[in-house]
């Protein structure tokens, strides 16, 4: 997501600093101990401006929501949303998801949300897709058995490619739909989703559940991604 540098970014971040986990690696293996009283910890990857983050937190006050975002100018908007709503069960991590393995121990997370991640359509960039096997294995490391990735996208080629990655990596797929809102809005929408919904773009969604067969980083080097270009067809 390309965003212009926001004025007063540092000041705005400072004003929300109680919501920021300044050194997430320090919390590795200790999240439950450091944030006691929550039933589960859910991780949203690439929260953007945080419409989904704030709503999911508001509806699930017994869950700690951790939102990771690598673009500060987007994350600060999410932080302000959460602060203005007075929500106590959200913390933000200012980092790239590539480093998740250093932030979380095995089984610390019960659910991962992947909402409208960037498609990286060129084959040579497929490794950057947040549903590439290397990422899926890092999610498998940190998720409980029975924990799930909730994945939504507007992008049909990305959805189909991701679905085959989940299957190849041993995830159990549930609630697969090619048009989530076909009969009216379902669940909590993200900022991107509300825009696509208004344009009539079908939203694709699935839940990928971790089982005993799901590959994690102990499975070794992930497969090389060949012929992985995505067409630019989005909503067919
Ligand atoms: C297309 S936007 C979607 C934002 C939000 N999830 C939504 O649906 O409205 C993708 C977001 O993911 C973030 N992102 C992409 N790759 C990331 C990564 N490796 N680590 C952390 N954030 C990432 C981007 O900075 C951007 O804010």
CATH code of the domain in which 59 resides? 3.40.50.150
Q: Does residue 1 have a pLDDT over 70?
A: no
* Interatomic CA distance for residues 129 and 173, integer angstroms: 19
Does ligand 1 come within 6 angstroms of the Cβ of 48?
yes
- Collect all residues with Cβ–Cβ distance below 8 Å to 30 and sequence separation of at least 6: none
What pLDDT shows up at residue 30? 98
What pLDDT shows up at residue 6? 64
Site to substitute for ligand 1 among 6, 24, 46, most atoms within 8 A of C-beta: 46
101 is a domain residue? yes
What mean pLDDT is predicted for residues 140-165?
A: 98
Does ligand 1 come within 6 angstroms of the Cβ of 72?
no
What mean pLDDT is predicted for residues 174-200?
A: 97
Query: Are 178 and 184 in contact, with CB atoms under 8 Å apart?
Result: no
Q: What is the pLDDT of residues 106-152, one digit of tens each?
A: 999 999 999 999 999 999 999 999 999 999 999 999 999 999 999 99
What pLDDT shows up at residue 231? 86
What are the catalytic residues?
A: 118
Among 70, 69, 68, 74, smallest CA distance to 9 is for 74
230 is a domain residue? no
Q: Is 0.85 topped by the overall pTM? A: yes
CA 168 to chain centre: 20
5 is a domain residue? no
Domain count across the chain: 1
Q: Does residue 7 have a pLDDT over 80?
A: no
| pLDDT bucket at 3, cuts 50 / 70 / 90 | low
What mean pLDDT is predicted for residues 50-79?
A: 98
148 is a domain residue? yes
What mean pLDDT is predicted for residues 50-74?
A: 98
224 is a domain residue? no
| pLDDT bucket at 236, cuts 50 / 70 / 90 | very low
231 is a domain residue? no
Q: How does the average pLDDT of the chain come out, rounded?
A: 95
Q: Does residue 233 have a pLDDT over 80?
A: no
Q: Between vectors from CA 207 to CA 126 and to CA 97, what angle results, nearest 5°?
A: 45
Does ligand 1 come within 6 angstroms of the Cβ of 46?
yes
Radius of gyration (Cα) for the chain, nearest Å?
A: 17
Does ligand 1 come within 6 angstroms of the Cβ of 110?
no
Instruction: Please report the atom of ligand 1 found closest to the CA of residue 71.
Output: 25
228 is a domain residue? no
233 is a domain residue? no
Give the residue numbers spanning the domain of 39.
21-219
């Amino acid at each position: 997501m390309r965003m212009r540098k926001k004025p007063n970014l540092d000041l705005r971040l400072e004003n929300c600093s109680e919501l920021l986990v300044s050194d997430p690696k320090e919390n590795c293996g200790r999240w439950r101990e450091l944030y006691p009283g929550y039933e589960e910890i859910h991780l949203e990857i690439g929260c953007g401006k945080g419409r989904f983050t704030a709503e999911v937190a508001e509806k699930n006050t017994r869950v700690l929501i951790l939102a990771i975002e690598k673009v500060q100018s987007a994350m600060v908007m999410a932080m302000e949303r959460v602060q203005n709503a007075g929500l106590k069960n959200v913390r933000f991590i200012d980092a790239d998801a590539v480093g998740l393995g250093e932030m979380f121990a095995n089984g610390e997370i019960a659910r991962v949300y992947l909402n409208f991640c960037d498609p990286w359509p060129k084959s040579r960039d497929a490794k950057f897709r947040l549903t590439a096997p290397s990422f899926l294995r890092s999610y498998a490391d940190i998720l409980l058995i029975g924990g799930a990735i909730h994945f939504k996208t507007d992008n049909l080629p990305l959805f189909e490619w991701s679905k085959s990655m989940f299957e190849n990596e041993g995830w159990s797929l549930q609630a697969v739909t090619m048009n989530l809102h076909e009969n009216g809005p379902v669940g909590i929408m993200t900022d991107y989703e509300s825009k696509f919904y208004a344009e009539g773009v079908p939203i694709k969604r699935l839940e990928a559940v971790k089982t005993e067969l799901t590959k994690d980083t102990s499975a070794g080097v992930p497969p090389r991604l060949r012929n992985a270009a995505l067409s630019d067809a989005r909503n067919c």
